[in-house]
Amino acid sequence: MSQVQRMSRLMVKTLRDDPADAETLSHKLLVRAGYVRRTSAGIWSWLPLGKKVLDNISRVVREEMDAIGAQEVLLPALLPKEPYEVSGRWDEYGDLLFRLKDRKGADYLLGPTHEEIFTQLVKDQCTSYKDLPVMLYQIQTKYRDEARPRSGVLRGREFQMKDSYSFDTTDEGLVESYGLHRAAYQKIFARIGLDFRIVSAVSGAMGGSASEEFLAPAAAGEDTFVDCPACDYAANTEAVTFQAPEAVATEHGPVEELDTPDTPTIETLAAHLGVPASATLKNLLVKVDGEITAVGVPGDREVDLGKLGEHLAPAVVELVTAEDFVDRPDLVRGYVGPQGLKIRYIADPRIAPGTSWITGANKPGTHARDVVVGRDFEVDDYLDVVVVEAGDPCPSCGTGLRLDRAIEIGHIFQLGRKYADTF
């Protein structure tokens, strides 16, 4: 015999005012309506009303996953170090991992994602190709030590995730499983009533290829995506790539050194010379696995460190510090130019062969004019690394792109053989 939950007995307490630490609308409303309560930064308790919503969403997810033939399991959240060390992600995840030791000194982590453990499970349970293909999923608590968990249940340090994995015997089977998941996600979000976009994405620490994100447009979103008003192109900004322009066959004069005191920034340089920032070449110094590397972009653009990191993964990319200039007289802070540099030089495709730039002369208070790509310096690698801006040409049709904010609500990958080969 079922019992009725009477409103008079329901444990719910609403608040008149917004919580002092709330930055997003969802955070304010969930707390004020009595759905959740903060336990610690990025850690939330789900109260009866919130738990009912969470269970309803989980029910929809389960129904659609079961409909494509996926089977539900539940793996532990407390995991041994060894599988993640084998895959390399013990180090790749860096500070995002919650690491701990047991009483015997053995290393463990709280699972941020479970590719390694699912792969080991299937290796143990599926002993013949006749046991495949198989699709497994779980709805389980994940842990990531977010640097700034200040958006309520968004980007929490402890959160529930549905993660699913297919194990196929052929590339065609992988594509089919990917398509089934894609369709299931569309049905899930439609049933929940979410406005969403499917955009091209990068795989990041997951690895693999053929990656797409499901984004819910929202002002509070941490993801920025672009879409084209003239065609169906849409992508996460980190996944937007532009084709390199054709080589420019133009005659240029010789390199001319310019006296430019007190101009260590593009803004001060452009003002001093009376030229647009787009005529200058900005050279950002970073460390790639500890090795100093220069990244060149037009002076009116910024380097997208996230995009750079995705291009160079699994290498660790970080900005140089003042200490990195000690004992490096070849690197003149604020006046670095690519000509004569003895370090790796990465450039955005806009720094095309034959183009001419105003850039640092590798001397204090000095810049150089008519520094030509291919004549005065060479580019080691071309990578699309600038921050995408509204109006940039659509890679598909050339129309100016629009920028919008969104919350990532789903992500699918074709991981290929990455974890199967690893284990």
18-27 pLDDT per residue, tens = 988 888 888 9
Q: C-alpha dihedral over 221, 226, 229, 230, to 10 degrees?
A: -150
- Give the Cα separation of 282 and 346 in Å (integer): 12
Q: With 0-12 CB in 10 A as exposed, 13-18 as middle and 19+ as buried, what is 402? A: middle
Give the C-alpha distances (Å, rounded to integers) separating 210 from 49, 67, 176, 203, 235.
Answer: 38, 23, 13, 8, 12
Q: C-alpha dihedral over 139, 211, 294, 296, to 10 degrees?
A: -130
pLDDT for residue 155 is more than 70:
yes
Q: What is the CA radius of gyration of the chain?
A: 26
pLDDT of residue 204: 54
| Cis peptide, bond prior to residue 393, ω within 30 of zero | no
Q: What is the pLDDT of residues 91-133, one digit of tens each?
A: 989 899 999 999 999 999 999 999 999 999 999 999 999 999 9
Which among 245, 258, 248, 251 has a CA at the least distance from the CA of 358? 258
Q: Do residues 319 and 287 lie in contact, with contact meaning Cβ atoms separated by under 8 Å?
A: yes
Q: Do residues 347 and 312 lie in contact, with contact meaning Cβ atoms separated by under 8 Å?
A: no
Match 């899930």 to its residue by tokens: 188
pLDDT of residue 37: 93
pLDDT of residue 24: 86
pLDDT of residue 206: 47
Kindly state the helix (H) or strand (E) to which residue 26 belongs, with its residue range.
Answer: helix 25-32
Q: What is the pLDDT of residues 240-296, one digit of tens each?
A: 877 766 666 677 889 999 999 999 899 999 999 999 999 999 999 999 999 999 999
pLDDT of residue 203: 58
pLDDT for residue 35 is more than 90:
yes
pLDDT of residue 228: 92
Q: What is the pLDDT of residues 312-369, one digit of tens each?
A: 887 889 999 999 998 899 999 999 999 989 999 999 999 999 999 999 999 999 999 9
Q: At what angle do helices 171-192 and 48-67 cross, to 10 degrees?
A: 140
Please report the sign of the dihedral spanned by the C-alpha atoms of residue 138, residue 141, residue 143, residue 148: positive
Structure tokens at 384: 């699309």
pLDDT of residue 2: 58
Domains of the chain: 8-193 (3.30.930.10), 198-240+390-423 (no CATH), 256-382 (3.90.960.10)
Q: Do residues 135 and 68 lie in contact, with contact meaning Cβ atoms separated by under 8 Å?
A: yes
- Give the Cα separation of 163 and 278 in Å (integer): 44
Match 């444990």 to its residue by tokens: 11
- Give the Cα separation of 347 and 387 in Å (integer): 13
- Give the Cα separation of 292 and 285 in Å (integer): 7
pLDDT for residue 10 is more than 90:
no
Give alpha helix (H) positions in 68-162.
81-87, 89-92, 115-125
Q: What is the pLDDT of residues 40-85, one digit of tens each?
A: 999 999 999 999 999 999 999 999 999 999 999 999 999 999 999 9
Non-local (6+) Cβ contacts of 200 within 8 A are 211, 212, 213, 234, 235, 236, 239
Q: Which amino acid is at 351?
A: I
Mean pLDDT value across the chain: 91
- Give the Cα separation of 242 and 259 in Å (integer): 35
Q: C-alpha dihedral over 228, 281, 249, 245, to 10 degrees?
A: -20
